[in-house]
Amino acid sequence: MLLSGLGALVLFGCYYRQSRTVVVRSDGGSVALQAWDMLHGNLLLRHWHMSDVSFWCTELVQYALLEAVHGLGPGVVHLGGAMTYTLLLVLAAGLARGRTGDTSRPQALVRVLIVAVVMVAPAAAASPTLLLTPDHLGSAVPVLLAWLAVDRLAPLTGGRPALRWLLPVLVLLLLAWGQVADDLVLLTGAVPLAVTTGIRAIVRRRTSPAGPLPWLEVSLATAAAASAGLARGAEVLIRVSGGYGLQPVATRITRPDELPHVAKLTVEGLTTLFGVPPTAAHTRSELVFALAHLPGLVAVAIAVLLALTRLGRSNDLVVPGLAVAIVVNVAAFVITPYAQNLLSAREMAAVLPFGAVLAGRQLAGPLLRVRVRPALWAALAAVLAANLAALGYHAAQPARPADHQALANWLVTHRLTAGLATDYWVANSTTLDAGGRVTVRQVSIDRNWRLEPPTTWGNRSDWYDPDHYRATFIVVDDAKPGAWTAEWWSAVRTFGRPARTLHPDGYTVLVWHRNLLAAIR
């Protein structure tokens, strides 16, 4: 146990260093600022306009705890990403290992080693998705916890009436908790559990019509279905209590002419998540690391196919449940409009830990039955060593500063503490990079070329109240000349000509000697 804890701590340090090779941008800024508000008493995030995912009761709680210790800054994003990935690896290894007594010690060890081969070394190309801001990966935590409860408690509740209700209630609460934070848990957790247990209940009833009701399967299917209603009720309660607002989830279905492009992105996204990105051939080192990850990807593909063939016939609920979760998640990605670029693979991020668990539980037994067992141990050791070498290589790369760290430092030095920007990617990022010593709030340009409060997400509506807040400058990213022209004319039309025009490296800052918020209320 002590060695496992030390190993997890070392891995966390490596993931933190690898996370720092990725630039923190305004998405991280938005989440960190929301958590900062929660830490300072705004638990329901009143006045916040969020995206179509809140992460309110998962990563936002994690960020708030980190900020209580670390303070506000881009480092919180790196710490949060590394913590989430380490936790998922530990949960996946524990779920793959199975219950003590159900597996032999060699089989349990091989299961854990297979999970490590699949997950231990995130590819550099996948770092923005797996090791940075909340991008659905952390939403796999409540799902894995629910399956851990099923795996550990199902054999006990069948013979102990006093515990009969414990498991479905626990599963209900875990899945509802996950769905309040991220609706994707409905597809990765609730639906697969309901489908898997429902199918097995039907099969058991048909094979033994005179037997007792398959209470375990029926209760779990009911709990999975009820979790959606409980989550929706909690969201309504938050909303009527004045809590945060969410953007509506996109519902458009992929057109037939878009399917080839979406299919290509799906394959590229999945291979990137498993460490075999299409860009691997660009450098020799990444090609070597991709080859080291390839056995893990192949193992997961085989495990998913095997699990689907045993749907309804296996005594192990976890294996078919996770296989169905992978199929449902990937299918939803293909038929919805989220597949826009390689970063869109974040919608399928849960496939990585689910696939690792499947590979461990499905393949350890057959591998141990091969006659050349020493060769098996040697192969696993070699692949794992190659992946650990990849992790060490990525962790040793130089850290990159946050997206607008230089601008934040310049604004602090020049005592410009409250401003505006029409670019979302400048606003919350700069506020985070300055540790809150500077605030840059996003504004929008209306059809009359005047500035107004933003029409997008990632902001608080009361930030634009001139009775409580100030803004005296506008910052423009010079790398976007079109934005510069639009923002200049909109600012002049709204506020008049600036008193000063400053030029920090890469930016233009327009300064007035009055509170600009009074003109855009």
**Tens digit of pLDDT for each residue in 263-275?**
999 999 999 999 9
For residue 39, pLDDT beyond 70: yes
Q: Enter the pTM of the model.
A: 0.94
Least confident of 100-104, 167-171, 259-263: 100-104
- Which are the contacts of 80, defined by CB distance < 8 A and separation ≥ 6? 59, 62, 63, 66, 133, 134
For the cut 90, the answer to whether the pLDDT of residue 489 exceeds it is: no
Query: What is residue 515's predicted lDDT score, i.e. its pLDDT?
Result: 95
Task: Report the distance separating Cα 422 and Cα 516, nearest Å.
Answer: 14
CA-based diameter of the chain, in Å? Answer: 87
Looking at residue 449, its pLDDT comes to 83
Instruction: Note the pLDDT of residue 112.
Output: 94
Assess whether pLDDT exceeds 60 at residue 237.
yes
pLDDT value of residue 156 = 63
* pLDDT score at 338: 75
Tell me the pLDDT of the chain averaged across its residues. Answer: 91
Residues 179-186, mean pLDDT to the nearest whole number = 96
48 three-state secondary structure: strand
**Is it the case that residue 89 has pLDDT exceeding 60?**
yes
Please give the average per-residue pLDDT across 299-322, as a whole number. Answer: 89
Q: Taking 90 as the threshold, does the pLDDT of residue 209 lie above it?
A: no
- pLDDT mean over 92-104: 87
Residue 158 has pLDDT above 60, yes or no: no
**C-alpha–C-alpha distance, residues 173 and 271, integer Å:** 33
Per DSSP, 111 falls in state H
Cross-strand pairs, 460: 48
Neighbour tally for 453: CB within 10 Å: 17
pLDDT band, residue 428 (cuts 50/70/90) = very high
Query: CA 510, 512, 514 angle in degrees (round to 5)?
Result: 150
Q: What is the pLDDT, as a whole number, of residue 482?
A: 64
Q: Which helix (H) or strand (E) holds 386?
A: helix 373-395
pLDDT value at residue 295: 94
β-sheet bridge partners, residue 501: 510
Whether residue 163 is predicted with pLDDT greater than 70 in this model: the reply is no
**Residue 159 confidence (pLDDT):** 55
Provide the residue type at 513 as one letter. H
DSSP tag of 463: G
Question: What pLDDT does residue 362 have?
Answer: 93
Q: Give 360-380 pLDDT, tens digit per residue.
A: 999 998 888 876 678 778 888
Report residue 398's pLDDT band, with 50, 70 and 90 as the boundaries.
very high
pLDDT band at 297 (very low <50, low <70, confident <90, very high): very high
**332, 253 Cβ separation under 8 angstroms:** no
Percent of the chain's residues with pLDDT above 70: 96
